[in-house]
Chain A
């Protein structure tokens, strides 16, 4: 009988020998892994989300291919194979995106797809990914409905869903302002704005039932002119103004509301404000409460991975990465970890039990890239390191990430906006456990789940 150590040594030696002998397979190692990257390159979401995600993805792919990322992601590419990005514009609506997705899979022959900022696109793509059996990592969209209402084998989301925006935001606000009497909202009149306001009012009703809704403004997406809404918010006299505005709408609203002194009497909370902060210097009042749906961007904890992302991103842009850059980093590093885990498991499984015949065949099998199904198996319930800290794929039967989050307040220092008074919330306090819908969990008092 071999001892455990002797067995491992023998296996390792055989593996190394086989790797050298099987030279044609060494070539397979260099075959690039093609990843379809779908992100907004035009339209209102391009500036704050889409383009930062593209810059980050390109910088990460280059750095990974050179093996320059810090541990544990310091192997070259994905298990030695270089990564190649096929970048597609997400603009144009869900129908167009479904066609683009089919193109990516059937004509561009990508191995994996990472993409989608819009919740509408995520909901439309998930069933198509399932139909085409394409491992698809949703990197940024927020709707909890993807895995709360559906169950997918080929779809993963490596970023926490949007429920935490309202839950952590309200907890932070009430710690800062426990005696608030009324709150108002300004959110866009489409799915995201309405869902965000519904979550917010549900959380506030649970945590502060005596606080009243002063007014709820729902301008159309891309409205641009907010004069009347600002007057209505001022007249409502609300203690707090909640907003999930983003991109150009948020910027226009801030440009028009700050000079009018709206925030002299009302505390502003921007649940999706972080990506725009660097462009709004001079137009965001100090003390504005801001979140980033996870410890991303300005909230990311100090680590070698965070420093790496900031450095490689800044080398390509005149600013530092915002939360969508961190989201795409999570997707790429999650996929890399799953891919490499699948490959390692394959090699370990294929180690012949000391029998000389069949070594070649076993080694051939072991050195073939992992199949999509093998990567999926490795991806489910994975825990991996990212520039924002540890991420666990614990919801949606192992397909939906959970993560803590953070909120803080803004302060302008020179020509920069910094975040201070940061408070981190662990994942069980801001996200529902498996099997519960977000709204039910909120209405039930948001009891911390067991993970």
Chain B
């Protein structure tokens, strides 16, 4: 029983983390039809920026609890700077091209940003471990868990809820959905499509950076962390259906729980488990679980 409980808690924690890192990717794809490989770099830059800003905050001896605000600030800063820079500076010239061209463009951005990270932060790892232990632990089923897990869970709920509310209940959300359905028609009706794209990409970039910033206290922030994440995030959004918010949430939950069960009951297959789920879903539903219906082209 306690093992099942551990599987659930570990699975939900991992799912929360997966959702946070994947949601920006699926949002950008859903609206702009761009599979943004540079999402991995935005995650890495978010982690580095958080390690630098929050690390500096702690080193200066300010209130340790303020480090959480610094983590948030880092994500906002990275999103506000990198998002418009990439979207206005490069992507807007590529709209209307084939999806694969845009994948290649964002892959190029990813490679450039990987080197940018090395240029700015060097190759030595950065640490920001204090916020991870600052909130203390909780005990359940004979195991100790850090309360930081609850922060991840709360952040995932908040992000998912806010996006859902924003998309379905607000005027801007409805405009966004109009653009998703028919970009040209929305434009003809007076929607500033360029601005919608800019805002969407900036929010997506911010979410990518937030994923990195929230992960920074749990890891050693070093070159290469973005590569690992983009593969996982891609698996999650493919399982859920590219561009679907609900799909990303369900994909994250399934992957998180399956991986956690594998670690506890059959650790030999842990590496394989995520891709097994992905393969099984794609066999049954080639476009993912929550992909939107598309008109067949003749």
Contacts and interface: CB of A to CB of B under 8 A. Distances in A.
Interface stretch (B51-59, B262-270, B276-284): B262-270
Interface stretch (B11-19, B93-101, B239-247): B11-19
A282 B10 CA distance: 25
Contact of B145 (A47, A235, A260): A260
B282 to A, nearest CB: 21
Interface in A42-64: 42-44, 46-47, 50-51
B67 to A, nearest CB: 15
Interface string B122-148: 011101010011000100001111100
Given A255-B217, A259-B137, 10 more contacts: A41-B123, A43-B223, A189-B270, A189-B271, A220-B270, A222-B225, A229-B263, A229-B267, A260-B137, A260-B146
B129 A283 contact: yes
A220 B259 CA distance: 12
A44 B144 contact: no
Contact of A260 (B14, B125, B144, B267): B144
Contacts of A217: 263, 267, 270
Contacts of A252: 218-220
Contacts of A50: 123
B49 interface: no
A228 B218 contact: no
B144 A255 contact: no
B26 interface: no
Contact of A255 (B6, B218, B270): B218
A81 interface: no
A175 B217 CA distance: 36
Nearest to B6: A231
B36 interface: no
Contact of A51 (B123, B145, B149): B123
A215 interface: yes
Given A218-B271, A225-B14, A231-B9, A43 B224 contact: yes
B220 A228 contact: no
Contacts of A279: 125, 127, 220
Contacts of A256: 132, 146, 218
9 contacts: A44-B222, A218-B267, A222-B225, A225-B17, A232-B6, A235-B142, A251-B125, A260-B143, A260-B146
B39 to A, nearest CB: 16
Interface of A: 41-44, 46-47, 50-51, 189, 215-220, 222-225, 227-229, 231-232, 234-235, 247-248, 251-252, 255-256, 259-261, 279, 282-283
A220 B263 contact: no
A283 B11 CA distance: 25
The 3 closest A-B pairs by CB, nearest first: A251-B220, A228-B10, A228-B263
User: At the interface, is chain B mostly helix, strand, loop or mixed?
Assistant: helix
A259 B130 CA distance: 10
Given A44-B224, A47-B222, A279-B127, A255 B149 contact: no
B215 interface: yes
B215 A46 contact: no
A232 B219 contact: no
A252 B133 CA distance: 13
Contacts of B260: 228
B228 interface: yes
Contacts of B127: 251, 255, 279
Interface string B1-37: 0110011011101100100000000000000000000
Nearest to A282: B129
A232 B267 contact: yes
